[in-house]
Structure 1
């Protein structure tokens, strides 16, 4: 299939990338402060559940921006600032090391859907939960797990006893969204696009894309489901993927039409 032409405007993209990062940081901090101090004694599930899902979506956004930073598409004309933003976002996300994340992610792009891919399953346990655990163990090794345990324990103690925040609020609006976000990222960004059943030897990225409309694609995982397009055009920012996906679909349809016409002409001849 022919490559599509992706128009790049570094100055515009950099402004959008910086704005998205600032908005997400503001939403993350403000929502956390509001929800940690909320009185849940008489609260209804009608607003607690949307609050958890909202926090999860914002949490995922931090990682999505960091992921774009790895590809240099947050501030494309200023790589040091781009990488600083990426490092800051993954620190906010879960105190993750940006350099290790970058190395692992580029391994994923070089060996997608193969045993050398740190995002892929171990070749045996391809079920969702086994693969998810293997995925997490690769990104959060024993040393990092120890650090995260102590960092989060200290943060919990400060919030609970230093600031007198309810442990229930901490669980619902800080820890639970973090876990749900990791599942969301894995499900839409790794499991669905790279499942073994989707692997095709003619597909060098060993990835497929979702066919959700743009609005559902956004709410599912910031267009992470347009995954083939991401692998084909890794420097395209997440918010530009719907346009790339639509162009790709039109090209595929045109290619199929041309093939069918060619077959028809051959058979009639």
Structure 2
């Protein structure tokens, strides 16, 4: 595998991404490509490195940093909305001449991935790993989740060193996780490195959950793909993912055993195996 650091300036953003190129034995006129979008706060390479090590069905994998989270940044200081992050990814793909690719999004990145495909269309598979909008089919619970995220965002912006705010976030997304003080503090330290970007991403998610509550409660995937949910994650979320698979034409739900919201970090081999197998199916 070859690794290439990408740094470029687009209309709205100073962009940073990692491009992975894998040796291919396939005979193809165009490379098979995959875009990996990370969650709120933790940069792309940190989030996806372990999963990427086990992928073998793609020739190129692109892992960008969302603005404010890693080495990318918006060129204006206005509070970003979800549409700004979608535009950032669109500009990067256009700059790199990426037109056809599969897309995977984790947590916040899953919400961005879905909105990207809604705006620009799908020419490949979609993989969603506990995306931020698939918490429940109940609008009341979705709005409560939006309030929880907004509260955390306010506390982090007011005092980035307030560790209790980050613990509140972890308790919200992984209420049934196996408690490990060392792991929790490592996660919090990573989030604190990009505290402002983390808070901005949570605020953007909260806004979208409030504005599009009914849409997300009944959303059906119009594309082919898979959603992943942790076996230790909230039963409401597991039910929403199963419902999505039942109601969508070409969608699967994969429950990752003994995993919570941190599944992309703790179960990379399992996730990559399922993604590889789905890509092999075509």
Both structures adopt the same fold (TM-score exceeding 0.5): no
Asked which structure has the greater CA Rg, the reply is 1
Q: TM-score, normalised by structure 1?
A: 0.31
- Report which of the two has the higher share of helix: 1
* TM-score normalised by the chain length of structure 2: 0.30
Which is strand-richer, 1 or 2?
2
